[in-house]
Amino acid sequence: MAVEHSTDESTDLFLLEEGGVFSDTVRSDRPASFTLQNGLEVVVIPDHRTPVVTQMIWYKVGSADEPPGKSGLAHFLEHLMFKGTSKHPENEFSKAVLRAGGNHNAFTGLDYTSYFQHVPREHLGEMMDFEADRMTGLILKDENVLSERDVVLEEFNKRVANHPGERLAQQMMAALYLNHPYGRPIIGWRHEIETLTREDALAFYKRFYAPNNAILIVAGDVAPKEIRSMVKERFGGIPAQPSIPLERLRPQEPTPAAPRAVTLADSRVEQPALHRSYLVPSARTAAAGEGSVLDVLEQLMGGGVNSYLYRSLVVEKQLAVTAGASYHSAALDFSLFQIWAIPKPGVKLSQIERSIDEVITDIGRNPASTEDLERVKTRLITQVTYVQDNHEMLARWYGRGLTTGLCIDDIRGWPDDIRAVDAQQVHEAVRKWLDKKRSVTGYLIKESAPKHGEKL
């Protein structure tokens, strides 16, 4: 059973899609939660509609926690976590999931690494056995490590080296974060991936993979009392790692002093594009209510065909084929607010940029209408209803929030925070955070193919 290891670029707490309108939020019951003596946090989300369960373990370590010169190590270790233990050889875990008729996967983010299984409820104990065993029992051999490093390098070639848009995104992150490790790619810089070793992986594993650095989320056809005994039996005897600090402290960004620009030219570019990223607070680092204001601003500016950017650039001026915005709220430290547009053939990126600046200026001068504000707030709150209907999504929702510094009540209170946002707060957020000095603008352009004999 193949496992598609991945990096997780989706750092917003809600992944939005078009949907119906609900005036009230439908909420699931508050998840049960408890902590073992060794520090393992456990969250239980009962959902008895179908006899299935999702187990997700989230380690509070991601690419931003890697030592200097070892970029990509968190993602590399994620791959290696499927190499087996002395108790369960390589592929035994995957075969057990396959026999159960389930699926499993893993992903790495800036602040976390997560592993999950989705299986019929009667197989949960077996899945928990496997997950507890590989928390401390991982066995790595040089030949397995080297071959898996080649797999990661091939992933880099496929997802980054041969994808001009991803290369631009990496360069923009490096330019936006002058001091913070968020400027390193989750997958790593190629020249550093090439040097990662078995010793690097094991040292990282022993340092960060421990119960007091993990959150176990179990969602589905389960009862909290049942889960408490299962978790205590399987994870309770694993010792805590005393060297793990209570708080993750990273170098922080200086106050941005000047706008930056990055241009990437590539002969493989089919459609030029303009991207802009602003350094803004995450949900954790924002002042009270400010993260929700940025959520609303994201929707006003770039949330679908009724957003200001889409109306202006695509519908009214007919300069672009699409335009949008996104706010990455789920981050331990300062995060980013992104804007993008793809021009129509023959339209210059300079025209697109001027139009984007005009939209931002207009929002900064004129508070949003009551109608627009209520429309986007309703759309955001509606998404919470969809989350309740899928326990896998609920597990991801809570996992992202809890590993980036929020608590259960913060996450559950998000709809009320959205309701409280007013037009004046949005107006002030634009003026405060969408200051061009806080930004990096990226231009993706087509480069003429090299002449015969020239090197790329």
pLDDT surpasses 90 at 112: yes
pLDDT at residue 391, rounded to an integer: 87
Is residue 209 included in any domain, yes or no?
A: yes
Specify whether 265 is located in the same domain as 399. yes
How large is the angle between the packed helices 124-136 and 92-99, nearest 10 degrees? 170
| N-terminal to C-terminal alpha carbon distance within the chain | 38
Q: What is the 3-state secondary structure (H, E, C) of 135-150?
A: HHCECCCHHHHHHHHH
At 359, the pLDDT band (50, 70, 90 cuts) reads very high
pLDDT at residue 448, rounded to an integer: 75
Instruction: Classify residue 190 by burial, with Cβ atoms within 10 Å: 0-12, 13-18, 19+.
Output: middle
Specify whether 167 is located in the same domain as 224. yes
Model pLDDT for residues 443-454, shown as the tens digit of each residue:
999 987 554 554
Specify whether 166 is located in the same domain as 303. no
Average pLDDT, the chain: 92
pLDDT at residue 29, rounded to an integer: 80
pLDDT surpasses 60 at 176: yes
pLDDT at residue 3, rounded to an integer: 59
Structural domain range at position 154: 31-235
How far from chain centre, in Å, is Cα 346? Answer: 34
pLDDT surpasses 50 at 276: yes
Q: Are 252 and 180 in contact (CB under 8 A)?
A: yes
At 9, the pLDDT band (50, 70, 90 cuts) reads low
Specify whether 408 is located in the same domain as 288. yes
pLDDT at residue 24, rounded to an integer: 37
Average pLDDT over residues 42-71: 97
pLDDT at residue 136, rounded to an integer: 96
Average pLDDT over residues 326-343: 98
CATH of the domain at 281: 3.30.830.10
Specify whether 200 is located in the same domain as 297. no
Of residues 359 and 25, which shows the higher confidence score? 359
Model pLDDT for residues 400-432, shown as the tens digit of each residue:
999 999 999 999 999 999 999 999 999 999 999
Is residue 247 included in any domain, yes or no?
A: no
Specify whether 297 is located in the same domain as 436. yes
Model pLDDT for residues 291-327, shown as the tens digit of each residue:
999 999 999 999 999 999 999 999 999 999 999 999 9
At 16, the pLDDT band (50, 70, 90 cuts) reads very low
Nearest to 109 by CA among 58, 70, 156, 67: 58
Specify whether 318 is located in the same domain as 365. yes
pLDDT surpasses 60 at 456: no
Model pLDDT for residues 361-399, shown as the tens digit of each residue:
999 999 899 999 999 999 999 987 777 788 889 999 999
Is residue 286 included in any domain, yes or no?
A: yes
Is residue 22 included in any domain, yes or no?
A: no
Specify whether 192 is located in the same domain as 268. no
Is residue 110 included in any domain, yes or no?
A: yes
With pLDDT > 90 as the criterion, what percentage of the chain qualifies? 88
Is residue 16 included in any domain, yes or no?
A: no
pLDDT surpasses 70 at 114: yes
pLDDT at residue 451, rounded to an integer: 47
Model pLDDT for residues 194-231, shown as the tens digit of each residue:
999 999 999 999 999 999 999 999 999 999 999 999 99
pLDDT surpasses 50 at 19: no
Query: Rounded to whole angstroms, how far apart are CA atoms 160 and 7?
Result: 12
Is residue 310 included in any domain, yes or no?
A: yes
Of residues 17 and 142, which shows the higher confidence score? 142
At 186, the pLDDT band (50, 70, 90 cuts) reads very high
Specify whether 230 is located in the same domain as 264. no
pLDDT surpasses 80 at 22: no
Active site residues per annotation: 78
Specify whether 280 is located in the same domain as 405. yes
Specify whether 228 is located in the same domain as 267. no
pLDDT at residue 384, rounded to an integer: 79
pLDDT surpasses 60 at 105: yes
pLDDT at residue 11, rounded to an integer: 53
Domain count, the chain: 2
Is residue 14 included in any domain, yes or no?
A: no
For 232-275, the DSSP string reads HHHHTTSPP-TTS-SS---PPPPPP-S-EEEEEEETT-SS-EEE
Specify whether 285 is located in the same domain as 217. no
